[in-house]
Amino acid sequence: MANIAKDVHTYVNELIAEQLGSLDEGNVNIEPKRIFAIKEPRRYCTMEKKTFSIPNITCGHCVMAIKNELSELEGIKTVEGDPTGKTITVEWEAPVTVKSIEDKLKEINYPAA
Ligand SMILES: [Cu+2]
């Protein structure tokens, strides 16, 4: 019985580690007695991604300026820019929201279209 519980424990931890993706397996640990309460694994990864169209972009310096400004917001993970396509692609998680990104873009005179 103890061995079965341990195997299930390991299995569930692997399942959760898979869901978490970017987090270390060391951050994931639950007690065997609690696994039966799990019907659906919770979604721990809350990373979001969006490409913003920004007409005011004219060159690579604009992209750099936007990258620097957005990177200061807590929760921003990556900022990629395309000067030709006039787009910025942002990956983020809480506390950043689409609105706070759009507000910042407006504030620095690169409003999203
Ligand atoms: Cu520019």
The domain that holds 67 is classified in CATH as 3.30.70.100
Q: How far is the CA of 93 from the centre of ligand 1 (A)?
A: 27
Residue type, 77: K
Number of structural domains, the chain?
Answer: 2
- Residue labelled with tokens 């007695």: 33
Check residue 46 and give its pLDDT.
82
- 3-state helix vs strand vs coil in the chain, percent to 5: 45, 15, 40
* Mean confidence (pLDDT) of the chain: 81
Claim to verify: residue 22 and residue 58 sit in the same structural domain: no
Q: Give distance in angstroms: CA of 110 to centre of ligand 1.
A: 10
| Ligand 1 center–CA 60 separation, angstroms | 5
Distance 13 CA to ligand 1 centre (A): 48
Q: Is residue 112 part of a domain?
A: no
Q: What is the pLDDT of residues 54-86, one digit of tens each?
A: 999 999 999 999 999 999 999 999 999 999 999
Helix axes 60-71, 98-107, angle to 10 degrees: 130
In this structure, the answer to whether residues 14 and 59 fall within a common structural domain is no
Q: Which helix (H) or strand (E) holds 102?
A: helix 98-107
CA–CA separation, 82 and 104 (whole Å): 18
In-domain check, residue 42: no
Do 58 and 19 fall into the same domain? no
Residue 71 and residue 33 share a domain: no
For residue 53, is it within any domain? yes
Instruction: Please indicate, yes or no, if residue 58 is contained in any of the structural domains.
Output: yes
**Residue 9 and residue 52 in one domain:** no
Residue 22 has pLDDT above 50, yes or no: no
Q: Give residue 56 CA to ligand 1 midpoint distance, Å.
A: 8
Look up the domain containing 78 and give its range: 48-107
This prediction's pTM? 0.62
List the one residue out of 60, 111, 108, 106 whose CA is nearest residue 82.
60
> Residue 79 Cα, ligand 1 centroid: separation in angstroms?
16
